[in-house]
């Protein structure tokens, strides 16, 4: 898509809009049942960043921070959007009281058993790497744990875990 837009007579603002409002949501939809590595996200984003720099008449050596800065061009970073989306989706699945929550708990228990771990794998900061694509939940946990994000599960489904209890520990 970046190659197609490169030859089109559009402005830098239009290119950014297409990336943020068309390409990123399209990729987010695909990421509902898979994850991308940081390297893959960078590869996808780099093509668009170079095209945006070209449209903005910026040198290719201009810092990417300028493109990502909210005050300047405010281009979305695919890796950050994936982290936000996947962690939010996992959080919602873990807190679901219906079939989805039950299925997620079963998958987590299966994953924990596969690693022969006695500690909940959502709470541990230890990254249990497997072949990517083997388990979506594990792939999401790996992404979250690389950013020091963990999920604390209640012992009982009827218990409420207040944030002040977590902070005081």
**Mean pLDDT of the region 41-51:** 89
Q: In the prediction, which pLDDT does 167 show?
A: 67
Among 42, 76, 110, residue at a domain's last position: 76
Higher pLDDT, 34 or 163: 34
Task: State what percent of residues in the chain have pLDDT above 70.
Answer: 83
> What span, in angstroms and rounded, lies between the C-alpha atoms of 9 and 134?
43
Number of domains observed in the structure of the chain = 2
**Mean pLDDT of the region 96-104:** 87
Higher pLDDT, 26 or 127: 26
Task: Determine which of 16-30, 50-64, 107-121 has the lowest per-residue pLDDT on average.
Answer: 107-121
Tell me, yes or no, whether 70 and 130 share the same domain: no
Q: Are 57 and 34 in contact (CB under 8 A)?
A: no
Structural domain containing residue 25: 2-76
pLDDT digits (tens, 9 = 90+) for 51-77: 888 888 889 898 888 888 888 888 888
Between the CA of residue 78 and those of 26, 91, 119, 165, 168, what are the distances in Å?
A: 11, 20, 31, 34, 34
pLDDT band at 159 (very low <50, low <70, confident <90, very high): low
Q: Per-residue pLDDT for 161 more than 90?
A: no
DSSP codes joined into one string, the chain: -HHHHHTS---HHHHHHHIIIIIHHHHHHHGGG----HHHHHHHHHHHHHHHHHHTT--TTS-HHHHH-TTTT-PPPHHHHHHHHHHHHHHHHHH--SHHHHHHHHHHHHHHHHTT-SS-TTT--------TTS-HHHHHHHHHHHTT---PPPSSTT----HHHHHH-
Per-position b or e across 141-160, b if 16+ CB within 10 A of its CB: bbbbbeeebebebeeeeeee
Task: Determine which of 14-18, 35-39, 149-153 has the lowest per-residue pLDDT on average.
Answer: 149-153
State the Cα torsion 138-144-147-153 to the nearest 10°.
-110
**Mean pLDDT of the region 129-140:** 78
92, two tokens: 């919602």
Is there a domain that residue 168 lies in?
Answer: no
Is there a domain that residue 163 lies in?
Answer: no
Is there a domain that residue 167 lies in?
Answer: no
Tell me, yes or no, whether 113 and 57 share the same domain: no
Is there a domain that residue 164 lies in?
Answer: no
Phi-psi region of 130 (alpha: psi -120 to 50; beta: other; left: phi over 0): beta
Tell me, yes or no, whether 6 and 48 share the same domain: yes
Question: Residue 58, CB half-sphere, CA atoms under 13 Å: how many?
Answer: 18
Among 20, 53, 76, residue at a domain's last position: 76
């Amino acid at each position: 898509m970046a190659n197609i837009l490169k030859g089109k007579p559009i402005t830098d603002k239009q290119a950014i809009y297409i990336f943020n409002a068309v390409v990123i949501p399209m990729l987010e939809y695909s990421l509902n049942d898979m994850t991308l590595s940081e390297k893959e996200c960078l590869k996808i984003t780099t093509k668009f960043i170079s095209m945006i720099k070209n449209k903005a008449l910026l040198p290719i050596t201009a810092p990417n921070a300028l493109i990502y800065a909210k005050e300047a061009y405010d281009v979305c970073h695919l890796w950050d959007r994936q982290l936000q989306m996947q962690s939010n989706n996992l959080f919602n699945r873990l807190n679901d009281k219906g079939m989805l929550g039950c299925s997620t708990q079963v998958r987590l228990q299966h994953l924990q058993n596969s690693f022969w771990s006695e500690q909940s794998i959502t709470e541990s900061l230890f990254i249990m790497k497997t072949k990517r694509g083997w388990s979506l939940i594990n792939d999401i946990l790996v992404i979250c744990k690389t950013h020091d994000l963990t999920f604390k599960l209640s012992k009982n489904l009827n218990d409420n875990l207040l944030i002040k209890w977590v902070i005081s520990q």
